[in-house]
Structure 1
Amino acid sequence: MQILITLTSTDPEVKWNAVRYGNFLLNAGEDVTLFLNGPAVDLAAGDSNRFPIAEQAKVFSLSEGVLVA
């Protein structure tokens, strides 16, 4: 199944959870595209030890997830 996740939030927790959800779907064998819209285009903004967005985004990209901005 092809799945599109649209992300428009600047909240680090929301961004982290969206990418984690994308990784979960990729591990389940789905085709996932993460569309970054508006302020969410700066995906790594808010990256921290609590919300490791950059680490999750790297896993997403290496798992053949598609990032579109």
Structure 2
Amino acid sequence: MKIGVIISSNDAETCWNALRFANFCLSREDAVKIFFTGKGVDYQRISTEKFNTIEQAEKFVQSGGRVYACGTCIRLRNQEGSEMCPVSTMKDMYEIVKESDKIVTF
């Protein structure tokens, strides 16, 4: 199955759970893509010891998951894109929605 995960929250626990869910889907051999939008692009800044979003994101990428992030949202927060938060566009989010069998939002 192809699963799209859209994360627009900057709540550490919510992002952590979204990333854990995405990792679980990968473990079931689903194809998974994550798109960070809005406050979600802050997922690296909000990582805590208890809700380690960076660790979950690294595991996701190392397991073959694909990560995208809204370039406009990144720039609005005076951030730069990175491997873990690559600058993407609404077209990329559209393609994820279009090709996915299921979409989950957090």
TM range (shorter): over 0.9
TM-score (structure 2 length as normaliser): 0.63
* AA at the equivalent of 1:35: F
User: Which residue is 1:52 aligned to?
Assistant: 52
TM-score (structure 1 length as normaliser): 0.95
Matches within 5 A, 1:1-69: 1-69=1-69
Q: Which deviates more from structure 2 when the two are superposed, residues 23-32 or residues 34-43?
A: 34-43
- C-alpha deviations, 1:9-59, integer Å up to 9, x for none? 010000000000000000000000011011111221211111011111000
Unaligned runs of 5+ in 1: none
Rounded Cα–Cα distance in structure 1 between residues aligned with 2:44 and 2:67: 13
Whose radius of gyration is greater, 1 or 2?
A: 2
| TM superposition outliers: structure 1 runs of 4+ over 6 Å | none
